[in-house]
Amino acid sequence: MSREPGTPQALLPSWRPGATRDALVDFLEASAELAPDSRLACFDNDGTLWAERPTYAQFDFFVDALARRAAADPGLASRLEYAALLAGDRATVGDLGLARVAMALLELFDGQAPEAFAAEVRDFLSRARHVTLDRPLRSTVYVPMLELLDALDDRGFTVAIVTGGGTEFVRAVSSDLYGVLPERVVGTLITYAFSRDERGRPSLRRSAQVDGRPNEGEVKVSNIQTQLGRAPALAAGNSAGDREMLEWALSTDRPSLALLIDHDDEDREFRYDSAAETVQETEPIRDVAARLGWTIASMRRD
């Protein structure tokens, strides 16, 4: 973005005046009190940095890959999970369950080199269009959030993406979309198989197995600690899968902020109640936010 760092008119220009913007500006100003190694900001991805409806971008990528592979190998369409996905049979997909369908999709890339997987992700994003907004999928990134990432970067923050999605999927595009280095992406991991080629050179290949549990809920907090080594001073998310991460950001007396994105704009985007895929919601996340004093960003109002 073209702007003059440090000038008031350049700070968060797409955020409308109001309590939410005031809270963001207050935190940015107060962050000067933070030690450099305490300046960590963690952002969920789907529904926080870009649109997640009507389907996740990673799901669309997997289905696109399935269609291309089925065109070359029609026998794939005989497998129940693949047949349902290719036919757009949501009822059967629902009956099969997320875990079974996700594992079947992971198998499409079993044995693939990580570099080849990243290249497929980038190719998909270069040509994919959002199914209902009818615009390039990569253009569904939220500009106000990019401005917030920019402002944090100006103030010496390490910005990380902490997602329930696949780590390698997000790493393939994080620098291009958000200016976030791949090593700052914390997501759901798959395992790799190490081997050597005929010349004895090391080689890595993807497996179809998840390494640990999906990166939602309390797992996000554990993985932030193990992979980034410190608690965030700012955490942003949009669903129950982000609750523990946002709570953790406010667990000390230092300047901190928990930001919840509320999808309440059916005219420009979508109106819906965000839901985690692998975490059971015991209380509506907006009620949690109001009770715990989080900052709620209305897509429509803010």
Q: Of the candidates 227, 136, 122, 223, which has an alpha carbon nearest to the alpha carbon of residue 176?
A: 122
pLDDT at 245: 98
Give the pTM.
0.94
- How far apart, in whole angstroms, are the C-alpha atoms of residue 222 and residue 244? 10
pLDDT at 6: 46
Which residue has 């809270």 as its token pair?
23
- What domains can you pick out in the chain, each with its CATH number? 8-50+141-298 (3.40.50.1000), 57-127 (no CATH)
Sign of the dihedral through C-alpha 86, 91, 92, 93: positive
pLDDT at 36: 96
pLDDT at 98: 85
- How far apart, in whole angstroms, are the C-alpha atoms of residue 206 and residue 209? 9
Q: Of the candidates 57, 46, 42, which has an alpha carbon nearest to the alpha carbon of residue 161?
A: 42
pLDDT at 10: 80
pLDDT at 1: 40
End-to-end CA distance of the chain: 20
pLDDT at 275: 83
pLDDT at 280: 83
Which regions of the chain are under pLDDT 70? 1-9
Amino acid at 182: P
pLDDT at 58: 97
Which residues neighbour 151 within 8 Å (Cβ) at sequence distance 6 or greater?
A: 11, 12, 28
- How far apart, in whole angstroms, are the C-alpha atoms of residue 165 and residue 223? 13
